[in-house]
Structure 1
Amino acid sequence: MNRLKQTKFWIIPIVLIIGITLVFRSGVFASKDKTKVVDNSLSVKVIEAQQVDLVPSLTFTGSLEGQVSATVSAKISGLIEEVFVQEGQQVKAGDPLVRLGTVELANAARQASDAVNKAQANYELALNDFNRYQTLYEKGATSEQQLDNAKAKLKTAQADLSSATANQSSSEQQYSYGVINSPVDGLVANKTATVGQVVSPGLALMTVQDINQVYAVVNVEQKELGRVKIGQKANVTIDAYPGKVFSGVVDIMNPEAGSASRMFRVKIKIDNASGELKPGMFAKVQLTTGNNYKVITVPQAAVLQKQGINYVFVLEGGKALRHQVEIGEISENTIIIKSGLQPGEQVIINSVNRLNDGDAVKVTQ
């Protein structure tokens, strides 16, 4: 009996030891702070490099002006008594725009007319006397001296009549300046004339602009002038009409560069029968300068420049590989790639300044 108790005494510790060993081996008490595998790959977006058709062109910004823009001003001093038009009103050449007070001018014109009548009467009297003395002289009834006196009086009367007629013409013209007429067909703009205003010769009162056709006026640098020709077609866009393209043609090229800018003014004529285009609007002009050709383009964000050298990163086997490229023209948000990139390659288009050659990356949408 004692031996059985002794045996149980040894068996229990052994079973406990075996049980504890099995529990520890099972990992129940294993550390929960095992090192996890961290994915340091940078998330990127890619596009496939594709060839696209490109139309060689030049792009300029400028502004619109009327084909004909006439400044209306007074030719004489005076007080404005009436203004016949408002801004934006359509007028024809010869239509009255402004009337000045012309009482004094009217009186002067009337006096000039009276002077012409008086001179005309004197001339006719002198002519009759001359004709009578000439007849008498031919019959020997008067002396040569009397004939010469009649001739001198006739010449004087003729000169007086000529002077009076010239003065009448001048007076009537001055009187006509009291009504200021439109020099051209067009729309009234920039009106400053008001009733009661005292004006002087040359003071601008308004402009009249013919906008059935307008010009988009741009400045062209000397290096690009050889690519611009009279008759060249152009596409013109206006901020006020997004998505709409107006057709134009190069109509005028200034042969001399501006003294300050050293650039050449070029005018692109645009039909404007609808009147949508207004002088002073900003315009963007694109001139086609050659035939279509294929190029590879990428977003500007895809190109990285370091020390004057341009790179793009291409996705290959889950890694970003740096490719040196030669770039061409920049158009809006894209850059032409002239060499260093092939169609179909996957180009990374974001976070390129955070990448190094060979970095692991993962693509996200």
Structure 2
Amino acid sequence: MIRNIATGVLCAGVYIIFTSCNSKQTEKSSINYVVQGDTINIPSGSNLENKLKLLTIQSVSYSLPILTAGIVKAIPTQYAEIAPPFKGRVTRSYLQLGMKTSIGTPLFEISSPDFMEAQKVFFQERTQSAQAYKNLRRQEDLVAHGVGTKKDLEEAQTAYEMAAKEYENALIGIRLFKAAPDKLSLGQPLVVRAPIAGEIIENKVVLGQFIRDDAASIATVAELSQIWIASQVKEKDIRFINKLDECSISVAALPEKQIKGKVYHVNEIVDETTRSIQVLVAVDNKDRTLKPGMYVNVSFIPAPSAAVLVPAKAIMQMSNTSFVFVALAPGRYIKRKVETTGSGTDKVVIQSGLNPGEQIIAEGGFYLLDAQ
């Protein structure tokens, strides 16, 4: 009995010693790296050696797309809201939605008391000016034949100059109504005409309605074969945007259609609320795909420039900071903070923190995160 107990204790002791030795061997093999400050050393023979893939940084020609939203707008010089400059009642309308217009095309007619009064003044002053001119010519003829007096001639000259000035003022008053003085007849209605070439896109004119002189727009003429897209570009990206740069526009309602445009103008003022800058994009719109007020997506395509690109897998994140592991020597790495400006599908553009010729861990860097 005593012999069996002794034998059991001896075996147990041997098992403990064996287990202890095996545990030390396992602990030794689990040491994959050694941390010294900011540097990580990977000993030769570590099982991490085959899990880390290195990449030598190179500068490549790259164009970073800048994505933003935009709103379709009519070009101001090709868009006109029509509101009568004077009050009156609509007596006739030529308007039809989609109707093509040129400069001066009649839109509608109104009977305007102000226009009637301007007509009366115009015809009255025109008549008085003509009479004053005839009187002046008669006095000049009388003086030439030695019958008239110099005083009567001077009075006729003064009267004509005053009448001519009053007629000129009346003429200006008629032209304020966009009416042709040489075709004017007393009592004719005021004809409101199109100020630009385009088409009628809005018509609120009702025959017989009375329009006040402070009324809002009742019709809109626009030329939409070309439009602008007002987009907002972040302050940090505006340095990549230049006039005449190409853009690609997409519409949610037409995902399969790609529309091209060019940068027309970059605003000089930064919106302090959004820290963005308005960029106007000129777009050909002959097929009328884009409508004013429509939301679109704009992808700016700047001219290619030298850039440093790394695989997205190489970028590590910790405490809202991006960093990579840079190789100092074989088996020796250091964590380095980097700044990124954007990314493609599987590449990240490095703005600062890396230089061409340096080596980084392109894959497997997450194995070293526990060392931080």
TM-score class, shorter-chain normalisation, is 0.5 to 0.7
In structure 1, the residue matched to 2:74 is 66
Q: 1:85 to 1:347 in 2, by over 3 A?
A: farther
Q: Distance in 1 between matches of 2:134 and 2:322?
A: 97
Aligned partner of residue 65 in structure 1, secondary structure? strand
Q: Distance in 2 between matches of 1:53 and 1:130?
A: 86
Of 148, 151, 156, 2:154 maps to 151
Do the aligned residues in 1 keep the contact of 2:235 with 2:277 (CA within 8 Å)? Answer: yes
Q: Distance in 1 between matches of 2:172 and 2:349?
A: 74
Deviation at 1:306, TM superposition (A): 4.8
CA deviations on 1:27-75 (whole Å, 9 max, x unpaired) are xxxxxxxxxxxxxxxxxxxxxxx9x996412111111112222222211
Q: Distance in 2 between matches of 1:215 and 1:70?
A: 15
Report 1:69-148 matches (<5 A). 69-102=79-112, 105-106=115-116, 108-110=118-120, 112-136=122-146, 146-148=149-151
Aligned partner of residue 115 in structure 2, secondary structure? helix
- Residue 182 in structure 1 maps to residue 194 in structure 2: yes
Q: 1:230 to 1:327 in 2, by over 3 A?
A: closer
Report 1:139-218 matches (<5 A). 146-171=149-174, 173-174=176-177, 176=179, 178-195=190-207, 196-201=209-214, 203-218=216-231
Of 259, 264, 280, 1:246 maps to 259
Of 166-175 and 212-221, the range deviating more from structure 2: 166-175
Do the aligned residues in 2 keep the contact of 1:102 with 1:175 (CA within 8 Å)? Answer: no
Q: Write the letter of the residue equivalent to 1:166.
A: N
Deviation at 1:270, TM superposition (A): 1.0
Report 1:257-268 matches (<5 A). 257-258=270-271, 261-268=274-281
Q: Write the letter of the residue equivalent to 1:181.
A: R
Q: Distance in 2 between matches of 1:307 and 1:126?
A: 96
Give the count of matched residue pairs: 282
Deviation at 1:304, TM superposition (A): 8.3
Deviation at 1:282, TM superposition (A): 1.1
Q: 1:216 to 1:332 in 2, by over 3 A?
A: farther
Q: Distance in 2 between matches of 1:179 and 1:128?
A: 40
Note the residue ranges of structure 2 that are not aligned, 5 or more in a row: 1-54, 180-188, 325-334, 351-358
Of 106-115 and 247-256, the range deviating more from structure 2: 106-115
Aligned partner of residue 281 in structure 2, secondary structure? strand
Q: Write the letter of the residue equivalent to 1:274.
A: D
Report 1:281-292 matches (<5 A). 281-291=294-304
Deviation at 1:194, TM superposition (A): 3.0
Deviation at 1:290, TM superposition (A): 4.0
- The two structures have a TM-score, normalised by structure 1, of 0.62
Do the aligned residues in 1 keep the contact of 2:74 with 2:227 (CA within 8 Å)? Answer: yes
Q: 1:133 to 1:56 in 2, by over 3 A?
A: same
Q: Distance in 1 between matches of 2:79 and 2:301?
A: 29
Q: Write the letter of the residue equivalent to 1:245.
A: Q
- The two structures have a TM-score, normalised by structure 2, of 0.61
Q: 1:179 to 1:262 in 2, by over 3 A?
A: farther
Do the aligned residues in 1 keep the contact of 2:87 with 2:114 (CA within 8 Å)? Answer: no
CA deviations on 1:168-187 (whole Å, 9 max, x unpaired) are 45246437392222211223
Q: Distance in 2 between matches of 1:164 and 1:101?
A: 23
Q: Distance in 2 between matches of 1:288 and 1:208?
A: 33
Q: Write the letter of the residue equivalent to 1:186.
A: G
Q: Distance in 1 between matches of 2:154 and 2:323?
A: 102
In structure 1, the residue matched to 2:186 is none
Q: Distance in 2 between matches of 1:88 and 1:334?
A: 48
Runs of 4+ deviating beyond 6 Å: 323-327, 332-335, 337-340
Q: Write the letter of the residue equivalent to 2:142.
A: R
CA deviations on 1:86-114 (whole Å, 9 max, x unpaired) are 44443222222232124773465256324
Aligned partner of residue 282 in structure 2, secondary structure? strand
